[in-house]
Amino acid sequence: MERVTTKVRVLSIIGLLLAVVIWGLNYIAQSQGAQHLGPFTFNFFRMSIGSLVVFPMVLFRNYKKNGKIQFWENSNDKINTIKGGVICGSFLIMGLFTQQLGLRYTAIGKAGFLSSLSVIFVPLIGIALKKKVYLYQWVGIIIALIGVGFLSLNNVTGIQSGDLLLMSTSFFIALHVISSGYYNKRVDNFQFTVLRFLWGAILCFIFMVLFEDINIEGIKTVFPFILFSGVVASGLAFTLMAVSQRSLNNVTTSIIMSLESVFAALSGWLILGQVMTTREIIGSIIVFSAVMGMQVYGELKNKGNIEESF
């Protein structure tokens, strides 16, 4: 049973929070990209750039360890790493595809809430896999969802096509969180991230050629947003997630990731001038309090045991 120190857990939480801040900002980039490019085209470039960002990190780390410029340090991990890259990359692309498409029809704040429903799907899938979810985690999930509801659902008029797409996003994100949590504890995080992005780029390229028109002018228009999504939101943020998940369980990870909606709303306010209402501010406080309260209680309960809960 693997145990980690409080310091490692805190650093992991900080790393994942930084990734979540980046993903919150990336809602703006995705929203802009959705207006000009098909979802597979946008995500093909995003995943390709992301893999190119992380690939040199793998070579550099292996060179420092054994003085050789090589991708594979331990051949025993090849099969598991490739399998993990294919499985997680497939879930990731389905999540990004439905999210990108949903952002064409749904405002950023509401999209953030609907995507955050993954915090419900993670423990539900866990129950199906006969994993234990503790009462305090359920309490954290419920409070976090109430908070993002205050934050994002101001004028909900019913379930529309964009809403359904973003609900399916949350399901695929949950599958991605669970599968990533499994492989991140068993294989090299950087190699795994490269292969996850590379497989995602291959899938997007195939579907882009089959179903979308390649819009050169659209690519030029949103290229700065593509670059941010590829370098920062993919290369940096997913690497932070991969490293952080080694010390965090899946439910904890999903609850922290629910903060995406908070930072999406904040980025809309700071960058696009979308002023937050009193209700949205209250929602932000509720979500943040739920996440931090769950972390403090979980630390006292588990004492560094990352396998105790799902």
264 residue type, one letter = A
Residue 249 lies in domain = 6-302
Q: Are 266 and 205 in contact (CB under 8 A)?
A: no
* 276 secondary structure, DSSP code: P
Residue 310 resides in a domain: no
Pair of tokens at residue 11 = 């650093």
SS3 category, 305 = strand
Number of domains making up the chain: 1
Residue 94 resides in a domain: yes
| Spatial separation of the C-alpha atoms in residues 136 and 126, rounded to whole Å | 16
28 residue type, one letter = I
| Spatial separation of the C-alpha atoms in residues 191 and 20, rounded to whole Å | 21
Residue 199 resides in a domain: yes
Please state the separation of Cα 307 from the chain's center in Å.
21
Per-residue pLDDT of the chain (310 residues; tens, 9 = 90+): 456 678 888 899 999 999 999 999 999 999 899 999 999 999 999 999 999 999 999 898 888 888 888 888 766 788 899 999 999 999 999 999 999 999 888 778 778 778 877 777 877 888 888 887 888 878 888 888 888 788 776 655 545 677 789 889 989 999 998 898 889 888 888 899 999 999 999 999 999 999 999 899 999 999 999 999 999 999 999 889 888 888 887 777 777 887 888 888 888 788 877 777 788 788 888 888 887 787 677 767 765 454 444 4
Q: Are 180 and 242 in contact (CB under 8 A)?
A: yes
| Spatial separation of the C-alpha atoms in residues 117 and 131, rounded to whole Å | 19
Residue 40 resides in a domain: yes
Residue 28 resides in a domain: yes
Residue 82 resides in a domain: yes
Residue 267 resides in a domain: yes
Residue 305 pairs in a beta bridge with 3
pTM, two decimals, is 0.83
Residue 307 resides in a domain: no
